[in-house]
Amino acid sequence: MELNVVRAERTLSLLTNTYLANTDSIKTSVALVLDTVLSQNLFAYVGATGVTVETTKRYESAVHKWIARVSSLLVGKSSESRMAGILLVKHTTLQSPPIFVENATKWTTSLLNMLGKADIAAVHAAALQLLLVFMDIVREVPELDREITSAQVPRMNQAVLALADKNPELVDAALELLMYSASWFPKTFRPSIDKTEVLCLRLLNGSMAKASGTTCKRAANCLASMPLVGGKVTVEERWFQYVLQTVGTIETCVDHVMCAETPAANAEARQTMPGMPAFADDFIVSIPQAADRITSMTELVVALLSRPVNVDVPIPVDGLVAVASKLALVPVRVANSKSNRAEFGLVPLLAPQLQRAAIRIMAVLAIALGDYMQPFLSAVARAMTAINTRHLVSATTQVALYSLVQLYVERYGYGFVICLPKELIASAISDLNVQSKRQVSATAGSALSASLSSKKRGGRSRATEVADSEGASNMLQIQYTDVVYSALNTVLALLKHTPTVLNSSLRAQIDGQVLTLLMLETVGGLSSPAASCSSDARYQVALCQCLEASIMSPDPWQKAVVPHAVSIFSAGLDSPSVAVRDACSAALANIEPIIHARLPAQLRAPETEKDVEQEYAVPKAVLDSQVSLSAGLDGSAFAEPSEKQRLSAEEPHEQEVEEDEMEVEANTKRFKNFSVQPVSTRSMPKEKLQLQQPPSAFAASPPVRASPTPAPAAPAVVSAQSETSMFAPSKPATLSANPVATPSAAKQQESNEDGDEDDDIPDIVMEGSDSEDE
């Protein structure tokens, strides 16, 4: 820290004594000084701790000399010195706000005096920007409330308004400062509210000068900040009055464009902005003037609905939707009109401007109101359909319309799409077909090459003709446009949020066009426009996202596009664009579960050791019962085998071997038709689990081959069930066929011989077995 403070002190002393000492050379040295101040952060050690007293005194002395020097430059005689002083004071304030707090009154007074004097526009613009930086710090420092907020802010507002009236080129900077002043210091701004309204309205109605789009937006934002000031009128009343006056002004302009007279009843109830000049007598001037006024009033509507008011205000939604619909229907009504008025010849020229105004109003309503727009979705859909008329629409308007459709689909989903006509959806899908343009170009190129070959060479070489034909073929590329990109985003929104709205033919059309474009990009390689222009990568990203969305929400009659998609996405991983690689990687990750299905859910681990023993007892009993059934059906199978039986078991007869092979083949075929399912024993009663455990004699007896003697008639029924259960564990196969194995088995045999069934014996049925249905 000590070394940094010493370095900063030496650098400040060098800059002050060497580069800022001479006022004549300040123009050439100010760039070096600013670069040094910005790069080395020289004012970050004001009030630093852990530094010796002597170093602190030297550093504070260097800072004091710097402040004195830049303050003298701020009130210098030449414009260059004043500009240098403004820039140096600005970056000093940004690096060390405590320095500004100490010198706030002096610097603010110097800047306000500068605004009242004649100077070049660059100096005044820099002074306005510096005042904005000062006000941003003042509103967070309560100590400056008395010295700056109460004393200097009202004077600053009056000086800025006077400067904006004299210098139209400074209107943008003045409006920005007035807007923040009204938002940050509403009480001190009240004396200037009337003059600010007049200034904003003069810019919006075109009486001051034909303002640019940026100036109109700033004037609208500044006027929309006036309700926050309050005063004699509350915030809600002033805001609602502004909205009604804006809507009334737009309706008056629409009536003028349509050459219609406003009814007397509506004229009395309609409110318009005060101070609006009358339209010119010549319609060639008045109709474009009305269109410009509609555009500026639309900016005011957007500013009123988008800027925070901090209170609950009543919004006339029906009036705003009605005026947006009226703007959208103006070109259609003029086109269908049977009147031969000469004024209607200008409307097709102004139709895109009016339609974009309607689109902006509908967009800001969706953003600001949210679900409150649900009752008006059908009216909005009709207005969109009117804008989509092909004989009057422009490319810019079509892009804005598709963006509006995308916004409403993402926000309202099926509630909006069911009101949207299918023609508009089909229009968005048809705009994806840029391949037709490629085919037209290819046809034109082939005709050109044929005409060239049919002409006489006339001394031209064959190489020249080949070069001409190659040049014509190189022009045959897919030309993406903003309309195609906006249509892709609209189709993507439909596939993500409302996929069932698109019928099978539309889905097939979407998949075919998207796959065709992606394959052309993949096959085209370096000759594709995406390879030559880095900005065209956004089209490939949109295409990949559309294909992924189509796969993730499939149609029942959709053709299999997954293999083609996997190939395209795999090839896209080698794209030079990072955005394309990320989109393809995300798509492959989402398609992976579709290609490779996941395993079914597994059983949970048992909670106690007792459950573990019971879980493993069931499959063990099933396995032991299978072994016992293969050994034989008579009771001798469970007795200790004799020496003769052991020898006969070790040397099987040929007939037994053949029977065993046939039985294995039959069991194998039967086993393929059954599926073994895992069984959980947690929900089984304890008695059933005990029945499944093998008896001690059964567990101790080794497996013995069955003798060829026929089995008794009674156990034959049990034998059939046991033989089937050997391949389907879900059936009650754990009971032994031996009548003396357990008392319950003996009781079952007696009941079978007598022909009576004992209903008290529980039927052991495992989960998922087929015996439940039987």
Pick the most confident of 479-483, 631-635, 639-643: 479-483
> Could you give the CA distance from residue 274 to residue 200 in angstroms, rounded to a whole number?
11
How many CA atoms lie less than 13 Å away from 650 in the CB half-sphere?
6
DSSP code of residue 374: G
The answer to whether residue 185 scores a pLDDT higher than 80 is yes
Q: What's the mean pLDDT in 209-230?
A: 87
Binning pLDDT at 50, 70 and 90, where does residue 436 land? Answer: very low
Q: Which of 94-103, 194-203, 606-615 has the lowest mean pLDDT?
A: 606-615
Which structural domains are found in the chain, ordered by start? 2-233 (1.25.10), 234-420 (no CATH), 437-445+473-595 (no CATH), 616-641+653-754 (no CATH)
The answer to whether residue 246 scores a pLDDT higher than 70 is yes
Binning pLDDT at 50, 70 and 90, where does residue 77 land? Answer: confident
Residue 450 corresponds to which tokens in the numbers above?
């044929």
What are the helix and strand counts (H, E) for the chain? 35, 0
- Asked if 427 and 388 touch (Cβ cutoff 8 Å), the reply is yes
Binning pLDDT at 50, 70 and 90, where does residue 264 land? Answer: low
Q: Quick one: pLDDT at residue 160?
A: 93
- Give the C-alpha distances (Å, rounded to integers) separating 600 from 300, 471, 603, 678, 690: 59, 59, 10, 11, 30
The answer to whether residue 133 scores a pLDDT higher than 90 is yes
Q: Quick one: pLDDT at residue 523?
A: 65
What phi-psi label fits residue 602: left (phi over 0), alpha (psi between -120 and 50 degrees) or beta?
A: beta
The answer to whether residue 458 scores a pLDDT higher than 90 is no
Q: What is the pLDDT of residues 373-425, one digit of tens each?
A: 999 999 999 999 999 876 566 888 999 999 999 999 999 999 999 999 888 99
Q: Which of 146-155, 212-221, 395-404, 609-618 has the lowest mean pLDDT?
A: 609-618
Q: Quick one: pLDDT at residue 730?
A: 40
> Could you give the CA distance from residue 252 to residue 755 in angstroms, rounded to a whole number?
100
Binning pLDDT at 50, 70 and 90, where does residue 601 land? Answer: low
Q: Quick one: pLDDT at residue 292?
A: 92
The answer to whether residue 303 scores a pLDDT higher than 90 is yes
Radius of gyration of the chain (CA): 44
The answer to whether residue 697 scores a pLDDT higher than 60 is no
DSSP code of residue 536: G
> Could you give the CA distance from residue 413 to residue 366 in angstroms, rounded to a whole number?
13
Q: Which residue, 559, 566, 416, 580, is CA-closest to 494?
A: 416
> Could you give the CA distance from residue 429 to residue 427 in angstroms, rounded to a whole number?
5
The answer to whether residue 684 scores a pLDDT higher than 50 is no
DSSP code of residue 271: -
Q: What is the pLDDT of residues 698-741, one digit of tens each?
A: 344 444 444 444 444 443 343 333 443 344 344 333 333 334 44
Q: Which residue, 170, 131, 136, 124, is CA-closest to 152?
A: 131
Q: Which residue, 58, 73, 49, 75, is CA-closest to 13?
A: 58
Binning pLDDT at 50, 70 and 90, where does residue 112 land? Answer: very high
> Could you give the CA distance from residue 356 to residue 616 in angstroms, rounded to a whole number?
74
The answer to whether residue 152 scores a pLDDT higher than 80 is yes
Burial of 638 (0-12, 13-18, 19+ CB in 10 A): buried
> Could you give the CA distance from residue 43 to residue 101 in angstroms, rounded to a whole number?
14
Could you tell me which residue, 676 or 46, shows the higher pLDDT? 46
Q: Where are the alpha helices (DSSP H) in 632-769?
A: 643-650, 654-672, 686-692, 696-700, 714-725, 743-754
Q: Quick one: pLDDT at residue 212?
A: 79
Residue with tokens 């988008």: 306
Residue 58 corresponds to which tokens in the numbers above?
């030297």
Mean pLDDT (the chain, rounded): 76
- Give the C-alpha distances (Å, rounded to integers) separating 658 from 230, 647, 664: 105, 19, 10
Q: What's the mean pLDDT in 116-121?
A: 87
Q: Quick one: pLDDT at residue 599?
A: 62
Q: Which residue, 250, 274, 180, is CA-closest to 222?
A: 180
Q: Where are the alpha helices (DSSP H) in 596-713?
A: 609-631, 643-650, 654-672, 686-692, 696-700
Q: Which residue, 5, 103, 84, is CA-closest to 49?
A: 5
Helix (H), strand (E) at residue 321: helix 317-336
> Could you give the CA distance from residue 196 to residue 171 in angstroms, rounded to a whole number?
12
Q: What's the mean pLDDT in 72-92?
A: 90
Which residues does 215 contact at the CB level (< 8 Å), separation at least 6? 171, 172, 175, 203
Binning pLDDT at 50, 70 and 90, where does residue 456 land? Answer: very low
Q: What is the value of pTM for the model shown?
A: 0.69
Tell me which amino acid residue 603 is: L
- Asked if 219 and 200 touch (Cβ cutoff 8 Å), the reply is yes
Q: Which residue, 101, 89, 78, is CA-closest to 33?
A: 89
Q: Quick one: pLDDT at residue 361?
A: 95
Q: Quick one: pLDDT at residue 616?
A: 57
Binning pLDDT at 50, 70 and 90, where does residue 142 land? Answer: confident
Q: What's the mean pLDDT in 743-758?
A: 45
Q: Which residue, 35, 42, 54, is CA-closest to 9?
A: 42
Dihedral angle, C-alpha 527, 533, 538, 543, nearest 10 °? -10
Q: Which of 552-556, 601-605, 687-691 has the lowest mean pLDDT?
A: 687-691
Dihedral (CA of 38, 43, 48, 51) sign = positive
Pick the most confident of 32-36, 330-334, 535-539: 32-36
> Could you give the CA distance from residue 516 to residue 520 in angstroms, rounded to a whole number?
6
Q: Where are the alpha helices (DSSP H) in 116-234?
A: 121-138, 153-166, 171-184, 186-189, 193-204, 213-224
Q: What's the mean pLDDT in 462-471?
A: 46
Q: Quick one: pLDDT at residue 331?
A: 84
Q: Quick one: pLDDT at residue 759?
A: 45
DSSP code of residue 599: P
Q: What's the mean pLDDT in 165-182?
A: 91
- Asked if 134 and 100 touch (Cβ cutoff 8 Å), the reply is yes
- Asked if 228 and 188 touch (Cβ cutoff 8 Å), the reply is no
Residue with tokens 């010493």: 6
- Asked if 447 and 405 touch (Cβ cutoff 8 Å), the reply is no
